[in-house]
C-alpha cells in the first residue's frame, strides 16, 4: 500500500530566507506522525505546501500516492485539514456545519448522514450535534473541526497546532481522540511544539531551522530521557 504522505527534497524560501531546506520523510498509512520543531522551524511552511498554498518546488510531494504538483486537485482531495485558526460558522449548529461541508465535498444525503454520525462518534461529539457552535467550549469546537475534516475520508489528516489556546483537559481529550483515529486507519500529521502531546509509539519528524533534524519513533529517539530534553539537545531551543 502507498504511504499516506511521501516528501522528497523539499525546499522553500520566503524571499531570501530559507524556511525548508531539502526536507524528506514519509508517513505510513494509519500512523500518527508528530511534526515537531521550535518556533520558526518550518512547520507552518511545510503545511502551506501540503495544503496547496505554496507550490512544492523544488521537491516532490505525494499524498496517498498522488503527485501534488502534477495532479493538485486529486492530491488535495486526499487531505483533511484542521488549521490553527478556526474556520466554521458559529451561528450554525454542529450538524449544520458538518452538513454544509459534506455538501461542498459532493457527498449525497445518505452518505453524508452516515459519515457525519461516524465522525461525531469518533470525536465523542454526538450529544453536541444540535448545539450552536458559539455555545460550545474551545475543545468541542476543535473536535467539530476534526470531525468535519474526516467526512470525505482523507488519506491524511493534517492538524496545525490544534490544541493552541486550550486548557489541559481539552488538550488531552483531543490528543487522545486523534491518536484513537489511527486505530480506524486514519493517518495523521500533527504539527506541534509541545512534546507532551506525543506518545512513544508515534513517529516524530523533527524540523530545525528548515532542516530535517530527526525522523523516527519517539520512544527510540528520546532513548530514556524526556522527549523535551531530547528536543532541547537536538535544537538548542527551550521546549514547552
Ligand X SMILES: Nc1ncnc2c1ncn2[C@@H]1O[C@H](COP(=O)(O)OP(=O)(O)OP(=O)(O)O)[C@@H](O)[C@H]1O
The Cα 149–Cα 20 span in angstroms is 26
The Cα 54–Cα 21 span in angstroms is 15
DSSP 8-class letter at 93: B
Helix (H/G/I), strand (E/B), else coil: 135: helix
Q: Does 42 bind ligand X (CB under 6 A)?
A: yes
Interface residue with ligand X, options 22, 24, 30, 40 (CB under 6 A) = 40
Contact segment (CB under 6 A) with ligand X among 43-51, 59-67, 109-117, 172-180 equals 43-51
The Cα 132–Cα 142 span in angstroms is 14
Question: Please, which residue, 81 or 107, has the CB nearer to ligand X?
Answer: 81
Is 170:138 a contact under the CB 8 Å cutoff? yes
Minimum CB–partner distance for residue 80 and ligand X (Å): 19
Sheet holding 66-67, edge to edge: 17-27, 5-14, 60-63, 66-67
2: number of Cβ within 10 Å: 14
Question: Please, which residue, 17 or 110, has the CB nearer to ligand X?
Answer: 17
Interface residue with ligand X, options 4, 10, 27, 41 (CB under 6 A) = 41
Contact segment (CB under 6 A) with ligand X among 3-11, 36-44, 50-58, 72-80 equals 36-44
Q: Does 19 bind ligand X (CB under 6 A)?
A: yes
Q: Per-residue string for binding with ligand X, 175-194, x by CB under 6 A? A: ------------------x-
* Residues near ligand X (CB under 6 A): 14, 17, 19, 37, 39-45, 193
Amino acid at each position: 500500500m502507498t504511504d499516506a504522505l511521501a516528501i522528497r527534497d523539499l525546499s522553500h524560501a520566503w524571499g531570501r530566507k530559507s524556511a525548508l531546506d531539502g526536507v524528506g520523510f514519509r508517513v505510513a498509512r494509519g500512523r500518527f506522525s508528530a511534526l515537531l520543531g521550535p518556533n520558526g522551524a518550518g512547520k507552518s511552511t511545510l503545511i502551506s505546501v501540503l495544503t496547496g498554498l505554496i507550490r512544492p518546488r523544488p521537491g516532490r510531494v505525494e499524498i496517498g500516492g498522488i503527485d501534488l504538483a502534477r495532479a493538485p486537485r486529486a492530491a488535495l482531495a486526499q487531505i483533511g485539514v484542521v488549521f490553527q485558526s478556526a474556520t466554521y460558522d458559529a451561528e450554525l449548529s454542529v450538524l449544520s456545519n458538518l452538513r454544509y461541508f459534506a455538501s461542498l465535498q459532493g457527498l449525497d444525503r445518505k452518505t453524508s448522514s452516515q459519515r457525519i454520525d461516524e465522525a461525531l462518534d469518533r470525536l465523542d461529539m454526538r450529544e453536541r450535534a444540535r448545539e450552536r457552535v458559539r455555545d460550545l467550549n474551545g475543545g468541542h469546537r476543535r473536535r467539530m473541526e476534526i470531525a468535519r475534516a474526516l467526512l470525505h475520508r482523507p488519506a491524511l489528516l493534517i492538524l496545525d497546532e490544534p490544541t493552541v489556546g486550550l486548557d489541559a483537559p481539552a488538550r488531552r481529550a483531543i490528543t487522545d481522540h486523534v491518536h484513537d483515529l489511527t486505530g480506524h486507519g486514519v493517518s495523521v500529521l500533527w504539527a506541534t511544539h509541545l512534546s507532551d502531546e506525543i506518545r512513544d509509539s508515534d513517529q516524530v519528524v523533527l524540523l530545525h531551522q528548515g532542516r530535517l533534524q530527526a525522523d523516527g519513533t519517539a520512544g527510540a529517539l528520546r532513548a530514556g530521557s524526556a522527549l523535551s530534553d531530547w528536543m532541547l539537545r537536538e535544537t538548542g531551543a527551550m521546549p514547552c
